[in-house]
Structure 1
Amino acid sequence: MEVKRRVFPVWRGIGASSAVGWSQGWGRCLRWEPGSQERGSRIPVFDYPVWLLFCRRGRARLREVCQRGRGAIRLPTDLLNLKLPQLFDIHQVPMVFREDSIISGYRHPQSSAMDCVLSSFQMNNETINIWTHFLPTWYFMWRFLALCSTMNFLNDSYTWPLLVYMLLICIYPFTSSCAHTFSSMSAESRHICYFFDYGALSLYSLGCAISYGYYVMPDCWVNSWLHQHFVLIAIGNSLFCTSMSCYSRFVELQFPKRSKALRTGAFVVPFIFDTVPLFYRALICFWGGGTPSDALSSHCYHLLFAFLTCFLFTAHLPERLAPGRFDYIGHSHQLFHISAVVGTHFQMEGVVADMMSRRAWLQLHGATPSFLGTIGALAVSVALNLAVIGIFSAPLLWKSRPGSAQQHAHREQ
């Protein structure tokens, strides 16, 4: 027996025979149809032509929406089911991927780009290296944006050295993070990734020299020969740094100690040159019995962490004392990253403090920063360093081309 029930009134609409409003006469009825024979349940069905027309068109669309809904619900499950890349021990990877006293936690030496990205969320011996430079990038970006809101970098030429410096302290940790992320795609990509890492660090040394030359230079050295040629020499130092550090990777397997010495010297030489004015200021202050300013105190903290950074880079401690114990957390390269970032923070504070406190004196006695000596010097140095990286990368890219090995073997025959 069919059961009908009135559900709700219907809107007459404008132009109906009676007054505009709700009507109970042309009502929507509900009838119950038997559902599954096994369960004996009944399914409600609307007995109304317009509603049935909607249902006929809507059922397919409703079914499509439900399928999409199931896919959306299943998407997080699929993400959770992603298989993280497999990790290997030191004897399972080629020599070029091995790190001193790091025994386990190596990624596949032929990883895809997606595997490299996923590995940054998986605990391996590069995870902390990636994040200890990726997160500080956003801190320095935040500080840079805060300075942009208070300084006129576009029209005030006195701020251009600080602009160059802030750009480079945002670039070098991000480049390092990318290098550590994608360095396991192949032996050639590993070298090229670190070529860009070295280039970013050499440009950072140029940024230090530009900011030091205009803001940190001792009073008695202002307008001296060294002051006038400080940025030009720093450009040469950046090219030396990139060239020597890139070359050191080609002799790393045959002569590891020589490679380490070349790479260390490549970064020590620009650092010593850049900080000579700062060393002189510190010696004059402490030996002369002067009171260190806030800027000089920040610079001294920077020097302390810079020496710690150099020590960690060369000593490979603490993993050398207990190989395998610090593979994932606590090895020297992670500490090296942290020390470098903290040192850069104190350096930034010192540069900003010197820039603000010495402005009146420097604008009166020193040369006004020029576009060529700041942004122009950065642009020229970027182009030259990219050319150096391209020269060192070209043979690796040629070697990685499909069929190049077969062509080389055929020529030898």
Structure 2
Amino acid sequence: MSSKVLGCLSTLTLRVQQLGQLPRLSIWLPSLPLPQATVLASDVPSLFREPYILSGYRPVNQEWRSYFCSLFQCHNESLNVWTHLLAILVVLLRFSFLTGAWGLTVNAASLPLLLYVLSSLIYLSCSVAAHLLQSHSELVHYSLFFLDYVGVAVYQYGCALGLYFYCSEHAWRQSPVGAVFLPGAAVLAWLSVASCCFAKFHYRRPYPLCRKICQIIPTSLAYMLDISPVAHRLATRSWEEPVLMFHALQIVFFMLAALFFSCPIPERFFPGRFDIVGHGHQIFHIFLAMCTLCQLEALFKDFLVHQQSVLEVHGEHFILLAGGSFFVLVLCSVLTAILMRGAVQKQLKKKVYD
């Protein structure tokens, strides 16, 4: 028995020695960069600085993989990335549960819901990409935030489609606001991306107040129009319906998000204290994600109630036409961002030559 054991051990030793002669895995697998040290605001160009955020910046002009790997590092954009990245996972999980539990099929009745979910994923993904990779260079910074604005515009119109077809009342649809709702929502969504891109391109730090106004006015008008069917419903229906609580919560969370987007608090009162965790834009992201999740839940519940009657109420051709307009808006928004990116390229080239 002992000779057999010794024979097995000698065979195992030989196999280990042979494995040791194989090329190391590190030759074949790419090595990850070491965590890069964050730098102070004074160490990055003014374009990349945020008011009252004094540290936690990533160095500019590094390799792409350095910024991808910064997903797992601690810097002043970490929570901005993770709040919306986790929201993407929740949206996907909730949608997969709905499709599995209720056997959701792709047809005209479910098209506005599918476009809403798609628009949610687009805006969240664009936000993640912008905050994760924007420090690479000036051109990348502008390009990704233009893309972020495209995502917001697409989400605005996706919300409008879902709220119109599943959440609106007949009396509201017959009103002047209801009559112009969808084309008005599309125009305001495009104005949002155009004005935000222009404000980003035109103004330099320290940003004047008119830059924030240029961003807020079109998006605020778009939101007030988009939420009007829900506001009408909350004002005219009994709140005994559980779905109305989710509609009310989405409005509350959006208002809180708008507050923290407009005002750099609490970092304005404690510069440097909330560089990594707790500054206003992170809180804005959290409330916006909560708004999206409450809105998603409300739309799911309304869809399950109205999916059998939506074709009869609105007509298949009208729903398909509205769905087609969604992709027209996406195209117009992307083209606007591309044109603004071209203007940035010309400006950067001129700065180099000067």
User: TM-score scaled by structure 1?
Assistant: 0.76
SS of the residue corresponding to residue 59 of structure 2 reads: coil
How many percent identity over aligned positions? 25
**Are 1:257 and 2:206 an aligned pair?**
no
**Are 1:307 and 2:255 an aligned pair?**
yes
Aligned length: 343
For residues 249-275 of structure 1, what are the alpha-carbon distances to aligned partners after superposition, in whole Å with 9 as ceiling and x for unaligned?
123316432111211223212111101
1:196 is aligned, of 128, 139, 147, to 147
2:340 is aligned, of 392, 397, 401, to 392
Please list every run of 5 or more consecutive structure 1 residues that lacks an aligned counterpart in the other structure.
1-6, 9-29, 31-43, 47-58
2:276 is aligned, of 328, 336, 339, to 328
* 1:66 counterpart letter in structure 2: G
SS of the residue corresponding to residue 202 of structure 2 reads: coil
Equivalent residue number for residue 67 of structure 1: 21
* Alpha-carbon separation, structure 1, partners of 2:315 and 2:27: 65
Equivalent residue number for residue 213 of structure 1: 164
* Alpha-carbon separation, structure 2, partners of 1:323 and 1:185: 25
The worse-fitting range, judged by mean Cα deviation, of 256-265 and 141-150 is: 141-150
Equivalent residue number for residue 373 of structure 1: 322
TM-superposed CA distance for 1:228, in Å, is 4.4
* Alpha-carbon separation, structure 2, partners of 1:252 and 1:112: 28
Contact persistence 1:294–1:353 (CA under 8 A): no
Contact persistence 2:239–2:245 (CA under 8 A): no
Equivalent residue number for residue 160 of structure 1: 111
1:248 is aligned, of 165, 187, 199, to 199
* Alpha-carbon separation, structure 2, partners of 1:118 and 1:293: 46
2:225 is aligned, of 273, 283, 286, to 273
Contact persistence 2:166–2:299 (CA under 8 A): yes
Contact persistence 2:181–2:225 (CA under 8 A): no
Distance 1:226 1:77, change over 3 A: closer
More helix by share: 2
SS of the residue corresponding to residue 371 of structure 1 reads: helix
**Are 1:236 and 2:184 an aligned pair?**
no
* Alpha-carbon separation, structure 2, partners of 1:98 and 1:392: 21
Task: Kindly indicate whether structure 1 or structure 2 has the higher relative contact order, using CA contacts under 8 Å at least 6 residues apart.
Answer: 2
For residues 179-213 of structure 1, what are the alpha-carbon distances to aligned partners after superposition, in whole Å with 9 as ceiling and x for unaligned?
10110011221111110001101100000100111
Equivalent residue number for residue 54 of structure 1: none
RMSD: 2.8
Structure whose alpha-carbon radius of gyration is higher? 1
Contact persistence 1:216–1:277 (CA under 8 A): yes
Equivalent residue number for residue 382 of structure 1: 330
* Alpha-carbon separation, structure 2, partners of 1:217 and 1:77: 53
TM-superposed CA distance for 1:313, in Å, is 0.6
Contact persistence 1:109–1:186 (CA under 8 A): yes
Contact persistence 1:294–1:350 (CA under 8 A): no
Equivalent residue number for residue 349 of structure 1: 297
For residues 274-312 of structure 1, what are the alpha-carbon distances to aligned partners after superposition, in whole Å with 9 as ceiling and x for unaligned?
011211211223xxxx34412211100000000000001
TM-superposed CA distance for 1:378, in Å, is 1.6
Distance 1:357 1:114, change over 3 A: same
Contact persistence 1:223–1:366 (CA under 8 A): no
* Alpha-carbon separation, structure 1, partners of 2:326 and 2:31: 46
* 1:220 counterpart letter in structure 2: A
The worse-fitting range, judged by mean Cα deviation, of 342-351 and 227-236 is: 227-236
* Alpha-carbon separation, structure 1, partners of 2:137 and 2:31: 28
Equivalent residue number for residue 50 of structure 2: 99
Matches within 5 A, 1:26-37: none
TM-superposed CA distance for 1:371, in Å, is 1.5
Equivalent residue number for residue 119 of structure 1: 70
Distance 1:235 1:77, change over 3 A: closer
* Alpha-carbon separation, structure 2, partners of 1:293 and 1:137: 27
* 1:190 counterpart letter in structure 2: H
**Are 1:283 and 2:235 an aligned pair?**
yes
Distance 1:265 1:325, change over 3 A: same
* Alpha-carbon separation, structure 2, partners of 1:78 and 1:210: 46
* Alpha-carbon separation, structure 2, partners of 1:208 and 1:349: 13
* Alpha-carbon separation, structure 2, partners of 1:163 and 1:249: 31
* Alpha-carbon separation, structure 2, partners of 1:65 and 1:360: 64
